[in-house]
Every structure is written in structure tokens, then in C-alpha cells.
Amino acid sequence: MSRVEEARLLIKQIESFDRGMYTGPVGFFGGGESEFSVGIRSALVEKGLGALIYAGTGIVSGSNPSLEWNELELKISQFTKSLEYDSVLQAIN
């Protein structure tokens, strides 16, 4: 089994939901102008429901799964810190 197949199986076991939006162009059209970036980290936040945080790592030949997981945690850490801070502010107010 290739590493890609292993990764697909692991994702299928861990994720119990459809990823929905994940990455892709993020930007705007307006006033005869446009500006776009490629979203590699994103969050879908719904008031009262919580947040889905999306990020990923690249699995290539020679990848170390533990290091890839650490990289993923680092990538989402700013989202989780922001959401934790927002939860504290809501509790205070």
C-alpha cells in the first residue's frame, strides 16, 4: 500500500464528516478590480455552534507522520488561540 493510500485510509478513519470547503481561492471582485490568495488555512465559524478548522500538510516520500502532525497542530494553533480568547471574552461579558 502506498503512503497516499495509507493517508486516505487514516483520514477516512479520523474524519467522520465531509470536508466541505477546505482550500482554494479566497478573494473578491468589485469596482473593476479583484484580488485573490490561496487559502491554505481556514475556519468556518457559526455563532452558537462552534467552528470547523481546516488545515493540511503535505505527505511526500520520506514524510514523518509525527512531524506532519506537529506541523498541522502549529498551523491551527492561531485559530484555536483566537477561539479560546473569544470564548473567554464571551464568558466575561
Give 7-50 pLDDT, tens digit per residue.
Answer: 788 888 888 777 776 677 889 999 999 999 887 788 888 888 87
Residues spanned by the domain of 27: 3-92
pLDDT band at 92 (very low <50, low <70, confident <90, very high): low
SS (H, E, C) the chain: CCHHHHHHHHHHHHCCCCCCCCCEEEEEEECCEEEEEEECCEEEEECCCEEEEECCCCCCCCCCHHHHHHHHHHHHHHHHHHHHHHHHHHHHC
> Would you state the pLDDT for residue 34?
95
Closest CA to 44 of 79, 1, 3, 90: 79
Looking at the structure of the chain, the number of domains it has is: 1
The answer to whether the pTM exceeds 0.75 is no
Distance (Å, whole) CA 84 – CA 77: 10
Report the DSSP pairing between strands 24-30 and 33-39: antiparallel
